[in-house]
Chain A
Protein backbone atom coordinates (compact mmCIF):
# COMPACT_ATOMS: atom_id res chain seq x y z
CA UNK A 1 0.00 0.00 0.00
CA UNK A 2 1.31 3.45 -0.87
CA UNK A 3 2.03 5.80 2.01
CA UNK A 4 -0.03 8.56 0.45
CA UNK A 5 -2.77 7.73 -2.01
CA UNK A 6 -4.66 10.03 -4.33
CA UNK A 7 -7.01 9.61 -7.23
CA UNK A 8 -4.86 10.62 -10.23
CA UNK A 9 -7.80 12.06 -12.14
CA UNK A 10 -7.93 13.95 -14.38
CA UNK A 11 -10.82 15.98 -13.09
CA UNK A 12 -12.27 18.04 -15.91
CA UNK A 13 -14.58 20.76 -14.62
CA UNK A 14 -16.07 23.94 -16.06
CA UNK A 15 -15.13 27.36 -14.77
CA UNK A 16 -17.07 28.23 -11.65
CA UNK A 17 -17.52 24.64 -10.55
CA UNK A 18 -16.69 23.30 -7.12
CA UNK A 19 -14.32 20.34 -7.04
CA UNK A 20 -13.04 18.18 -4.20
CA UNK A 21 -9.93 16.05 -3.96
CA UNK A 22 -9.32 13.32 -1.44
CA UNK A 23 -6.19 11.75 -0.06
CA UNK A 24 -5.49 8.95 2.39
CA UNK A 25 -2.28 8.24 4.27
CA UNK A 26 -1.12 5.03 5.88
CA UNK A 27 1.16 6.17 8.69
CA UNK A 28 -0.89 7.02 11.74
CA UNK A 29 2.15 8.76 13.25
CA UNK A 30 2.06 11.43 10.54
CA UNK A 31 2.19 14.86 12.03
CA UNK A 32 1.87 17.50 9.36
CA UNK A 33 -0.16 17.66 6.23
CA UNK A 34 -0.06 19.89 3.19
CA UNK A 35 -1.49 20.45 -0.22
CA UNK A 36 0.99 21.48 -2.90
CA UNK A 37 0.27 22.56 -6.42
CA UNK A 38 2.53 21.53 -9.29
CA UNK A 39 2.26 22.98 -12.76
CA UNK A 40 3.57 21.00 -15.70
CA UNK A 41 7.36 20.73 -15.66
CA UNK A 42 7.63 23.00 -12.64
CA UNK A 43 8.53 22.58 -8.99
CA UNK A 44 5.80 22.03 -6.37
CA UNK A 45 4.52 25.10 -4.62
CA UNK A 46 2.81 25.12 -1.25
CA UNK A 47 -0.90 25.76 -1.54
CA UNK A 48 -1.83 25.38 2.09
CA UNK A 49 -1.19 23.46 5.27
CA UNK A 50 -3.95 21.26 6.61
CA UNK A 51 -5.08 21.47 10.22
CA UNK A 52 -7.32 19.18 12.23
CA UNK A 53 -9.84 21.94 12.72
CA UNK A 54 -10.02 22.54 8.99
CA UNK A 55 -8.80 25.68 7.36
CA UNK A 56 -9.77 27.97 4.55
CA UNK A 57 -7.79 30.25 2.28
CA UNK A 58 -10.01 32.15 -0.11
CA UNK A 59 -11.62 29.65 -2.46
CA UNK A 60 -9.66 26.74 -1.00
CA UNK A 61 -10.71 24.69 2.01
CA UNK A 62 -8.66 21.87 3.49
CA UNK A 63 -9.78 19.31 6.03
CA UNK A 64 -8.09 16.56 7.98
CA UNK A 65 -9.65 13.53 9.59
CA UNK A 66 -7.00 11.85 11.72
CA UNK A 67 -9.24 8.97 12.76
CA UNK A 68 -9.83 8.01 9.13
CA UNK A 69 -6.36 9.17 7.99
CA UNK A 70 -8.00 11.22 5.32
CA UNK A 71 -7.31 14.67 3.90
CA UNK A 72 -9.42 16.70 1.53
CA UNK A 73 -9.13 19.83 -0.57
CA UNK A 74 -12.17 21.73 -1.82
CA UNK A 75 -11.87 24.36 -4.53
CA UNK A 76 -14.85 26.66 -5.03
CA UNK A 77 -15.55 28.80 -8.06
CA UNK A 78 -12.82 27.14 -10.14
CA UNK A 79 -10.71 29.35 -12.38
CA UNK A 80 -8.84 28.41 -15.51
CA UNK A 81 -5.65 29.21 -13.62
CA UNK A 82 -6.46 26.47 -11.10
CA UNK A 83 -5.56 23.87 -13.73
CA UNK A 84 -2.61 21.97 -12.29
CA UNK A 85 -1.72 18.82 -10.40
CA UNK A 86 -2.53 18.92 -6.70
CA UNK A 87 -0.20 16.96 -4.46
CA UNK A 88 -1.17 15.63 -1.07
CA UNK A 89 1.91 15.72 1.15
CA UNK A 90 2.49 14.20 4.56
CA UNK A 91 5.28 14.70 7.06
CA UNK A 92 5.76 11.77 9.39
CA UNK A 93 7.93 13.88 11.61
CA UNK A 94 11.15 12.03 10.87
CA UNK A 95 13.73 14.67 10.07
CA UNK A 96 11.13 16.72 8.23
CA UNK A 97 10.85 14.16 5.46
CA UNK A 98 7.91 14.74 3.21
CA UNK A 99 6.03 11.96 1.44
CA UNK A 100 4.19 12.97 -1.71
CA UNK A 101 1.12 11.47 -3.26
CA UNK A 102 1.15 10.97 -7.01
CA UNK A 103 -1.09 13.99 -7.40
CA UNK A 104 -4.54 14.67 -8.78
CA UNK A 105 -4.72 16.47 -12.08
CA UNK A 106 -7.31 19.20 -12.45
CA UNK A 107 -8.29 20.73 -15.77
CA UNK A 108 -10.66 23.69 -15.64
CA UNK A 109 -12.33 24.51 -18.94
CA UNK A 110 -14.42 27.36 -20.33
Chain B
Protein backbone atom coordinates (compact mmCIF):
# COMPACT_ATOMS: atom_id res chain seq x y z
CA UNK B 1 0.00 0.00 0.00
CA UNK B 2 0.90 3.65 -0.24
CA UNK B 3 3.54 4.73 2.25
CA UNK B 4 4.39 8.15 3.58
CA UNK B 5 7.65 8.62 5.41
CA UNK B 6 8.26 11.46 7.83
CA UNK B 7 11.60 12.49 9.26
CA UNK B 8 12.75 13.07 11.93
CA UNK B 9 10.43 11.28 14.30
CA UNK B 10 11.64 13.16 17.37
CA UNK B 11 13.33 16.53 17.79
CA UNK B 12 14.46 18.25 20.97
CA UNK B 13 16.11 21.63 20.58
CA UNK B 14 16.64 25.00 22.17
CA UNK B 15 14.30 27.93 21.82
CA UNK B 16 15.11 30.03 18.77
CA UNK B 17 16.22 27.11 16.63
CA UNK B 18 14.64 26.46 13.26
CA UNK B 19 13.54 22.89 12.65
CA UNK B 20 12.89 21.24 9.31
CA UNK B 21 10.57 18.26 8.97
CA UNK B 22 10.43 16.18 5.79
CA UNK B 23 7.48 14.30 4.40
CA UNK B 24 8.00 11.86 1.54
CA UNK B 25 5.60 9.75 -0.46
CA UNK B 26 7.57 6.58 -1.12
CA UNK B 27 5.65 4.76 -3.80
CA UNK B 28 3.35 7.33 -5.34
CA UNK B 29 3.43 10.90 -6.53
CA UNK B 30 1.60 13.36 -4.36
CA UNK B 31 0.68 16.72 -5.85
CA UNK B 32 -0.94 17.62 -2.56
CA UNK B 33 0.30 17.02 0.94
CA UNK B 34 -1.15 18.19 4.23
CA UNK B 35 0.48 19.30 7.44
CA UNK B 36 -1.29 18.82 10.77
CA UNK B 37 -0.47 19.63 14.34
CA UNK B 38 -1.79 17.83 17.40
CA UNK B 39 -1.46 19.08 20.95
CA UNK B 40 -1.91 16.61 23.82
CA UNK B 41 -5.45 15.33 24.19
CA UNK B 42 -6.61 17.44 21.27
CA UNK B 43 -7.64 16.74 17.73
CA UNK B 44 -5.44 16.92 14.69
CA UNK B 45 -5.65 20.43 13.31
CA UNK B 46 -4.85 21.13 9.70
CA UNK B 47 -2.15 23.76 9.42
CA UNK B 48 -1.67 24.00 5.69
CA UNK B 49 -2.11 22.32 2.35
CA UNK B 50 1.10 21.89 0.42
CA UNK B 51 0.84 22.03 -3.36
CA UNK B 52 3.65 20.85 -5.60
CA UNK B 53 5.13 23.71 -7.57
CA UNK B 54 3.05 26.43 -5.96
CA UNK B 55 2.53 28.22 -2.69
CA UNK B 56 1.01 26.43 0.25
CA UNK B 57 -2.45 27.30 1.46
CA UNK B 58 -2.50 28.07 5.16
CA UNK B 59 -5.43 27.67 7.51
CA UNK B 60 -6.71 30.63 9.43
CA UNK B 61 -4.52 31.50 12.38
CA UNK B 62 -1.42 29.73 11.07
CA UNK B 63 1.48 32.09 10.42
CA UNK B 64 2.97 31.40 7.02
CA UNK B 65 6.22 33.15 7.92
CA UNK B 66 6.55 31.00 11.00
CA UNK B 67 5.77 27.70 9.32
CA UNK B 68 7.52 27.60 5.97
CA UNK B 69 6.36 24.94 3.55
CA UNK B 70 8.17 23.84 0.46
CA UNK B 71 6.82 21.24 -1.96
CA UNK B 72 9.50 21.19 -4.60
CA UNK B 73 8.87 17.71 -5.98
CA UNK B 74 6.03 15.26 -6.33
CA UNK B 75 7.40 13.12 -3.50
CA UNK B 76 8.70 15.62 -0.97
CA UNK B 77 7.21 18.37 1.13
CA UNK B 78 9.06 20.08 3.96
CA UNK B 79 7.81 22.07 6.93
CA UNK B 80 10.25 24.42 8.63
CA UNK B 81 9.33 25.77 12.03
CA UNK B 82 11.32 28.98 12.18
CA UNK B 83 12.66 30.34 15.47
CA UNK B 84 10.79 27.71 17.41
CA UNK B 85 9.58 28.46 20.94
CA UNK B 86 8.22 26.19 23.66
CA UNK B 87 4.63 26.88 22.58
CA UNK B 88 5.49 25.28 19.21
CA UNK B 89 6.13 21.98 20.95
CA UNK B 90 3.64 19.56 19.46
CA UNK B 91 3.13 16.45 17.35
CA UNK B 92 3.40 17.38 13.67
CA UNK B 93 1.99 14.94 11.12
CA UNK B 94 1.98 15.07 7.37
CA UNK B 95 -0.26 13.24 4.98
CA UNK B 96 -0.49 12.76 1.26
CA UNK B 97 -3.37 11.98 -0.97
CA UNK B 98 -2.92 8.97 -3.16
CA UNK B 99 -3.94 10.09 -6.68
CA UNK B 100 -5.79 6.82 -7.04
CA UNK B 101 -8.28 8.16 -4.52
CA UNK B 102 -8.92 8.72 -0.88
CA UNK B 103 -8.13 8.44 1.84
CA UNK B 104 -5.02 10.27 2.91
CA UNK B 105 -1.95 8.35 3.99
CA UNK B 106 -0.22 9.66 7.09
CA UNK B 107 3.42 9.85 8.00
CA UNK B 108 4.62 8.55 11.35
CA UNK B 109 4.63 12.05 12.82
CA UNK B 110 7.34 14.21 14.34
CA UNK B 111 7.34 14.96 18.03
CA UNK B 112 8.87 18.42 18.50
CA UNK B 113 9.99 19.54 21.93
CA UNK B 114 11.39 23.04 22.33
CA UNK B 115 13.26 23.72 25.55
Contacts and interface: CB of A to CB of B under 8 A. Distances in A.
Contact of B108 (A4, A34, A43, A91): A43
Contact of B102 (A41, A91, A101, A102): A91
Interface string A95-110: 1111111110000000
B102 A95 contact: no
B49 A97 contact: yes
Contact of A96 (B36, B41, B104, B106): B104
B102 A96 contact: yes
B114 interface: no
Interface string B89-109: 001010101000011101111
A34 B103 CA distance: 9
Interface residues of A, number: 21
Size range of the chain B interface in the assembly: 20 to 34
Contact of B34 (A32, A49, A97): A97
Nearest to B106: A43
A103 B43 contact: yes
Interface string A18-47: 000000000000001010000001111110
Interface SS, B side? strand
B60 interface: no
B111 A41 contact: yes
Contacts of B49: 95, 97
A45 B43 contact: no
B43 A46 contact: no
A87 interface: yes
B42 interface: yes
Contacts of A43: 6, 93, 106-109
A98 B34 contact: yes
B75 interface: no
A103 B41 CA distance: 9
A87 to B, nearest CB: 7
Contacts of A46: 103
11 contacts: A44-B44, A46-B103, A91-B103, A95-B32, A95-B49, A96-B34, A96-B102, A96-B104, A98-B46, A102-B43, A103-B43
